[in-house]
Amino acid sequence: MTGVPEGLDLMALVRRYEPVLRFTSGEMFFPMPVGDYLRGASLWMLEPPNRTPVLLADHGSLNQNTLSEHAVEHPEAFLFLRYAPRTLQRAELRAWRKNPSRPKFVGISRLAAVGLLGRIIDSGMRLSLTLRGKVPGGLAAAAQQQYSAIEPLRDAYHAHVSVSGGYLCIQYWFLYAMNDWRSSFSGVNDHEADWEQVTLYLVPEGDDVKLAWIAFSSHDETGDELRRRVDDADITWVDGTHPVVNAGAGSHSGAYLAGDYLVRVQPPALARAFTIMTRLRALLFPWTRNQASLGVGIPYVDYRRGDGVHIGPGTERPWTPILIDAQTPWVRDYRGLWGLDTADPFGGERAPAGPRYERSGKVRASWGDPVGWAGLDKVPPTEQAAKLAREARLAELDDLIASLDTKIVAAQEELRRTAAGIDLMPPASKRDKTSSAARLAAQEQAAASLQAERREAVSERDQIQHARNGNVSPHAHLRHRAVPDTHTPAGVLLRFWSGASLSVLLVLLGLALLLNLGSLLFIVVSAVLIVMAIEALLRRKLMLFLLGLAITAGIAVLVWLFITHARIAFGVLALTAAAAIGVANLRTLARN
């Protein structure tokens, strides 16, 4: 393993810090050894030019070595694995669902937590599954039957140890037979197989090492947001060295705090439209600005409750540790997918690649650059290194401030010389844009820019000096701290309405169009307003909705008047302004 100190007992180190995974009640798939997965899988190749699937190795004939051999034999081919031989038929699926031994799950109404627009977008994305590749119904059930039949059923992680940027990195990779987030937990997607990870960053401490940072793989966080400092109160520990990971139900993403996380997905193609709609909503309905759950996007809940199976130290289910590195044959040679390839252009329903490679065959950033992946390439690994960096930056800032002081004095002197000449000029000359007045304005702007730069440098210097003399918050690097959603569960009527509202809207539109009740614009606006009014009533915000509607209508009337009757519009605007100014002046007189 490149960069790992010789003589280091990797297995002992990996076991010292191995995490504890806590799952949500109802979870059906848990981390398994690669060998167990491959023994139940088949290997396929997409043959050009029509990408016809060709069987290379049937179920029961694969292991780590044969997978590597097939990958070497077909270096240019696109390969994928299939875990479940087939999907369950309807009768089999009904019997599976009625099986009393199957894990049960009780969720919340995710649609009730978001607005009507979010539900419309969500429905559109789900309908699009019929037009793009998707995991067939019954596949999760078939995978669960195959997975639960393994004897003995072992809980395993695959540990990769490397050195990067002054950190000793331990990555715990977890392989799941299935991601059943959509079919079992009303999430965004399903796909065969799932690779998730926990990365620990250790730094030197005398003759030993100590843990400094932790990063959990997550769907909605990247870079700095992934990692937490070891003294962060959000992290739970078992026996002082084993961090607790609350794994998402079906999605297996990691969370530091247990709970239900409401998240909104915004497809990149619609990102700009979402931004405009969100700003418009905040403008027309300002009371919703701080209600993140009412934002625009595809709503879903990532259940990370930690109230189900626990695996790891201090539990009844210990880990089976497996060491891997870049020279492990299956890690090195196999670049294909670890499950059914649905060819979903959005990627959500396609199986993932392995721990080392992306679907494109390129090396994952988290594998090849674990420090940069978590935004740690800018963080010194030791306190001594951090101190040297702070002192060096302070010296740079002191030099910068001294240089700016000199430039500011020179700029002020030049500014005063120019102003001295202009003050003696007649008024007509001062108004001449080609005269010294224009030069004076430019000099004033330059002097102001120097002062602004100096203020920023002084502020940064003060912050560094403050941090040097005290403790930096463990959340200082976070722009957004992910916490569970704390909204009160929706009532029965709101839960029912959240599921029926879109159908009600479409029924109103359909009937109005068939009965020819007015113009298309009138019908659409009326139907939307009716549905929005019912929504506001059930959320106990009818008065706020009516107020927003009145403001919107007033703005629309003013716009219409400006377009069609500018004279009247200016008159109304003048009277409104007069009333507002009069009220303000009377309040001022009353206070005095």
Residue 546 has pLDDT above 90, yes or no: no
**In 207-312, where do the E strands start and end?**
208-216, 227-229, 237-238, 242-247, 254-255, 259-265, 298-304, 310-311
CA distances from 227 to 14, 201, 253, 371 (A): 19, 10, 14, 10
* Mean pLDDT score across all residues of the chain: 82
pLDDT band at 117 (very low <50, low <70, confident <90, very high): low
CB 394 within 8 A of CB 387: no
Please tell me the predicted confidence (pLDDT) of residue 311: 98
Q: What is the mean pLDDT of residues 548-566?
A: 78
Beta strands 320-324 and 208-216 are unpaired
Please tell me the predicted confidence (pLDDT) of residue 162: 94
pTM: 0.78
Residue 294 has pLDDT above 50, yes or no: no
Question: What are the sequence ranges of the domains in the chain?
Answer: 10-378, 383-469, 492-591
Query: pLDDT by residue (tens digit) across 158-209?
Result: 999 999 889 999 999 999 999 998 888 877 788 999 999 999 999 988 888 9
CA distances from 564 to 519, 550, 551, 559, 570 (A): 21, 21, 20, 9, 12
Q: What is the distance, to the nearest Å, from the Cα of residue 63 to the centroid of all Cα atoms in its chain?
A: 35
The token duo for 145 is 């039957």
CB 23 within 8 A of CB 245: no
Residue type present at position 240: G
**What is the distance between the alpha carbons of residues 499 and 15, in angstroms, rounded to a whole number?**
47
Residue 445 has pLDDT above 70, yes or no: yes
Q: What is the distance, to the nearest Å, from the Cα of residue 335 to the centroid of all Cα atoms in its chain?
A: 26
446 Cβ contact list (under 8 Å, min separation 6): 411
Residue 108: phi and psi, rounded to 5, are -115, 170
Which of 1 and 530 is assigned the larger pLDDT?
530
Residue type present at position 388: L
Please tell me the predicted confidence (pLDDT) of residue 132: 47
Residue 587 has pLDDT above 90, yes or no: no
Write out the DSSP string of 4-66: PPTT--HHHHHHHH--EEEPPTT-------HHHHHHT-EEEEEETTTTEEEEEE-TTS--HHH
Residue 111 has pLDDT above 60, yes or no: no
Q: What is the mean pLDDT of residues 501-505?
A: 71
Residue 264: strand pairing partners:
299
Please, is 321 exposed, middle or buried when counting C-beta atoms within 10 Å of its C-beta (0-12, 13-18, 19+)?
A: middle
Residue 5 has pLDDT above 90, yes or no: no
**What is the distance between the alpha carbons of residues 586 and 592, in angstroms, rounded to a whole number?**
10
What totals of helices (H) and strands (E) does the chain contain, helices first? 18, 16
Which of 424 and 303 is assigned the larger pLDDT?
303
For the chain, report the end-to-end CA distance as a whole number of angstroms. 79
**What is the distance between the alpha carbons of residues 392 and 364, in angstroms, rounded to a whole number?**
33
**What is the distance between the alpha carbons of residues 103 and 118, in angstroms, rounded to a whole number?**
30
Please tell me the predicted confidence (pLDDT) of residue 276: 63
Alpha helices in 285-376 (DSSP H): 329-333, 365-368, 370-373
Please tell me the predicted confidence (pLDDT) of residue 342: 78
